[in-house]
Structure 1
Amino acid sequence: MLVNFDKPEKQSLYHGHAQHLVEVQTVISDSYDHVTGFCECVEKIFQQGLVASVTFFKPPESWDWLELMADNKFGTPYNYQSSVIAVKKCSKLRTNRGRIRLLIRTCLVKRCLHIPVQTLLNSGECKGIYIKRSILGDEILSQILFSVLMSVSRLQFNLELENARFLDDTWVLPNTKRLELVPCKELGVTVLFVQGKALAHEILPNSVAAEDDHIEIGDILDELNGYCITNQVQGMLTNIMKKNAGLPVSVYIIKARWNDSIFPPLVPLLMEAGLDPVVLQAKFAQNDQYKAAIKNDMSQLTITYIGNTSTGSNGDVKQIRGAIDDMINGGGNQVDKLVSFECLDLGVKVCDASSKNVILKHSYMDISSCGCAVNIPYYFAYIAGNESFSLCENFTCYVFHCNIQKEIDSILQSIGQGFKRTQYVV
């Protein structure tokens, strides 16, 4: 959409982005190239040619009339009124410019972007809001704009409206991640509030947040268990966690990573928090290389379920060495089957590598101990009962062989972490 303001008689509205959107045959998401370009053009049209206020000494904003058009006296449909209400309630925004942008995105999702323009034209108030040499101030161009927006409103958009934290500053959207983490008493994240944003300043090792790099240093904690994280809840994060004790933790994260660099608008915040963006980016690259190496190792990974043997009424870690010796020497119940070993949120699952059938499944609450014999490499085991180990009188040791020592260490560490974080769950 382009406007030639130098020659009003030749003003034209170019359908570029809109035409590309109309040609899409599927649901349109944020990943589609022309979404941001179209939204940016709409914002520019709404902003250009506004009549300066003689009452208030501030630049005119299109938000004022966009909000006004949602007034019941204009009889606008509910989908537009609810869009304005939702934007006004969004505590992630600080400026009217950010609200304009979120409203445009919200109206695309609710298929009502044409409504405020239609209402403005029908009300006859354009002359008091826009100069004649603007699109909305011109009788013909405003009708063309309405027609374009009407066509776009027939499309189906699936945009991530929660991703609004940086709309005050830019149309460029950061990468985000919504996580459902296991019940835990604390995430293990130290946050520092910078310009109203909760920046992850430190991640505690072996915490829930640290697992699989769910949350990384420099990320922004945007929402926690349904609460929008702002300065107002700065001292309430622990209480928010306590309210959901025993339930999965819902977290919405704005990632510092952006393509192969750091999200540009985040750079000043990182520097204010004492985090060097260059060092942070180098750390991300190092972690990626480490993960790639692990992935390469995993392609060569084999885990064999050797079998199981009873340890009687004793399920402590001291029984593991004897149980491994017993299985190696042909004792117990021999199985010798290639398997996959998964450490899930609430327990472990062992499946047949070929048939994918579940062979073993134990919750962390049923596992009394795990470990390996130092002088017998590549073997590990865990001991579990048929009920919570504090009540169990009959324990069984399950013995495995793995050809990669790092994977053994990772599995044993995951079992230990899993037990710690679920021991209080009812």
Structure 2
Amino acid sequence: CVLNLQSDVEMVSDTNPHLASCCELIELILRKGLRPALSLVHRDYWQCFEQLPHQDHCGLTALSLAVEQTKVCRKLLSAQGRGRYLLRLALSRKALAQFVTHLLHTPRVLEWYSPVLSVLRNEEFVPFMSLLLVLSHMEFKLDMENCSFLDESWLLPVCEIYEVVPCRELGMVLYISGRVLVLNLIPGSQAHVDKFVCPGDVIDEINGTSLRNSKCGQAGATLSRLRGCPLSICVLRWRAHDGTVYRPLIKLLRVLRMENPTLQLGPAPTQQLATTEQGPSPSHCLKEGSVYIVQFLGKANIGMFGNKEVLQHAIPHVLQKNLPSKEVLLDMKETHLTCTDRPSQVELFEHHYPEISCVGRYDQQDYTIFAFCVDSPETPQPTGFCCVVLRASTIKECEDNQPHHWLQAYRVVCM
């Protein structure tokens, strides 16, 4: 299993097909021969690491820091989940061999293992330790925030972050059963138009607040408290990395279908830039995937309000002017975007992300049209907003230019 990890790539990520089986084998070895407590209560390897001394002559150890980080993670509810989170932390920090060595040198904890059945108390454990040392020299890049299903499975769901500008209502109908699942989307709402979430997906956290083990009303109360604020929503997809249903969600999806017999599990939303493993798509994704060839349709002052709801009225106002369109290069840089006339290479405008109040797609006639509102430079005082309207050549391109990418940079700048 270690050889498989080594042979694939230089850095092991969550998408590595051998990672889950490797972690499962380590878990089996750490559990083998582990005796129950005196009260016959089941004991897991997490309790072993938790009971190890957490200080030495230099102060807090690496193990103590990892244990404390595991304890404060609100997404973990069981000893199994905490143990798995700790193992992933140890792999990421190249410290798994160190943690197990610490256990081997703590007799009062080592006695919890059977000297006959366990690997750790048998002289033949030496090959196991040598393999842990090999793992400690490998690079692991694991998403520690994607841990809500470690209580049930080593298999992790597809996890995506969606950034949304302030709005009155997102338009998601939620079902609460320990987890917050999307039951339906209200037609015409922001969630329905932007398609950043599908029925069956799990809302894992909002602005860093975990919704794991949520009670009825907790998710709604969290959204109400954050109304009018930029939102960062962590979504766990019902569809797994291989395109099939994510197995730990099957029971919940059955319950969801009982609540909504018309539930349709549609295709997964596309929020990624148009890149593949082979590189950017040459049709519309140029210059490292940040420059798009689009049509500039015009702009117009829209008054004192620049929220997303205004777009559906502002876009027709611009289109009614029947201005000649221009082929432009829309370059979404790290901190700002620029729009350049393609034939003449003259820059038409430049806006930093904090200046943009909202961005969205036209949902009435032409789904390839998208627009954004920005503090109007044409007003004497910075109190008005200007709507800038553009058209992509395909709906897919329009989706690629949706708020997720712009507001990810917006969030970095503002924080």
Q: State the Cα deviation string for residues 241-260 of structure 1 (Å, max 9, x = none).
A: 46656553111111111232
Equivalent residue letter for 1:19: L
Q: How does 1:307-318 map to 2 (within 5 A)?
A: none
Q: Is the Cα–Cα contact under 8 Å of residues 36 and 172 in structure 1 kept in the other structure?
A: yes
Q: Does 1:257 align with 2:249?
A: no
Equivalent position of 1:118 in the other structure:
101
Which residue number in structure 2 is paired with residue 20 of structure 1?
4
The 8 Å contact of residues 185 and 241 in structure 1, kept in 2 or not, is answered as no
2:199 maps to 217
Match of 1:207 in 2: 189
**Change in CA separation of 1:321 and 1:169 when aligned onto 2, cut-off 3 Å:** closer
**Alignment root-mean-square deviation, CA:** 5.1
Question: 1:80 deviation in Å?
Answer: 1.4
Structure 1 distance, partners of 2:218, 2:33, is: 44
Aligned to 2:308: none
Distance 1:380 1:187, change over 3 A: closer
Aligned residue runs from structure 1 range 123-134, under 5 A: 123-125=106-108, 126-134=110-118
Distance 2:337 2:144 in 1: 36
Does the 8 Å contact 1:219/1:256 carry over to 2? yes
Is 1:274 matched with 2:257? Answer: yes
Q: Match of 2:74, SS? A: coil
The aligned counterpart of 2:348 is 359
CA distance change for structure 1 residues 391 and 113 in 2, over 3 Å: closer, same or farther? closer
Distance in 1 (CA, whole Å) between partners of 2:300 and 2:58 is: 76
Q: Which of the numbers 53, 64, 78 marks the counterpart of 1:81?
A: 64
Number of the residue aligned with 1:227 = 209
Letter in 2 for 1:262: V
Distance 2:17 2:387 in 1: 55
2:295 touches 2:392 (CA, 8 Å); kept in 1? no
Shift of residue 228, structure 1, vs aligned partner: 0.7
Distance 1:44 1:303, change over 3 A: closer
Give the conservation status (yes or no) of the 8 Å contact 1:50–1:60: yes
Q: 1:189, CA displacement in angstroms?
A: 2.0
Give 5+ residue unaligned stretches, structure 1.
1-16, 293-297, 329-335, 419-426
* CA distance, structure 1, for counterparts of residue 191 and residue 316 of structure 2: 31
Instruction: Write the distance in 2 (CA, Å) between the matches of 1:371 and 1:118.
Output: 60
What is the aligned counterpart of 1:182 among 165, 181, 191?
Answer: 165
Question: Alpha-carbon deviations, 1:365-393, whole Å to 9, x = none?
Answer: 799xx999x9xxx999999771399967x
Distance in 2 separating the partners of 1:128 and 1:380 = 63
Which of 338, 341, 347 lines up with 2:327 in the alignment? Answer: 338
Where 2:26 maps in the other structure, the secondary structure is helix
Rounded to whole Å, the distance in 2 between the matches of 1:397 and 1:94 is: 47
Q: Does 1:68 align with 2:51?
A: yes
**Contact preservation (8 Å) 2:181, 2:201:** yes
CA contact (8 A) 1:76 1:119 kept: no
Which structure's residues are more often helix, by fraction?
1
Structure 1 residues 179 and 358, CA gap change in structure 2 (3 angstroms): farther
Inter-partner Cα distance in structure 2 for 1:118 and 1:65: 12
Give the distance between the partners of 1:263 and 1:340, measured in 2 at CA. 39
Q: Distance in 1 between matches of 2:8 and 2:211?
A: 36
**Is contact 1:323–1:397 with CA below 8 Å preserved after alignment?**
no
Q: Whole-Å Cα distance in 1 between the matches of residues 295 and 146 of structure 2?
A: 45
Q: Quick check: 1:191–1:202 contact (8 Å CA) kept in 2? A: yes
Q: Which residue of 2 aligns with 1:41?
A: 25
On the 8 A contact 1:69/1:116 being kept in 2, the answer is: no
Q: Tell which deviates more after alignment, 141-150 or 275-284.
A: 275-284
8 Å CA contact 1:270, 1:276 repeated in 2: no
Q: Which structure has the bigger radius of gyration?
A: 1
Match of 1:144 in 2: 127
Query: 1:316: how far off?
Result: 8.9
Q: Tell me, what secondary structure is at the counterpart of 2:266?
A: helix
Give 3-state SS (helix, strand or coil) of 1:262's partner: coil
Q: Distance in 2 between matches of 1:251 and 1:403?
A: 26
Q: CA deviation at 1:340?
A: 5.7
Contact 1:225 1:240 in 2 (8 A): no
Distance 1:90 1:381 in 2: 39
| Secondary structure of 2:15 counterpart | coil
Residue matched to 1:387:
379
- The superposition leaves residues 324-366 of structure 1 with CA deviations (integer Å, 9 ceiling, x where unpaired) of 3xx68xxxxxxx632367999xx99754345775425687779
Instruction: Tell me if structure 2 keeps the 8 A contact 1:371–1:382.
Output: no
Kept after mapping to 1: 8 A contact 2:356/2:372: no
Q: TM-score, normalised by structure 1?
A: 0.67
SS in 2 for 1:164: coil
**Contact map agreement 2:161 2:232 (CA 8 A) in 1:** yes
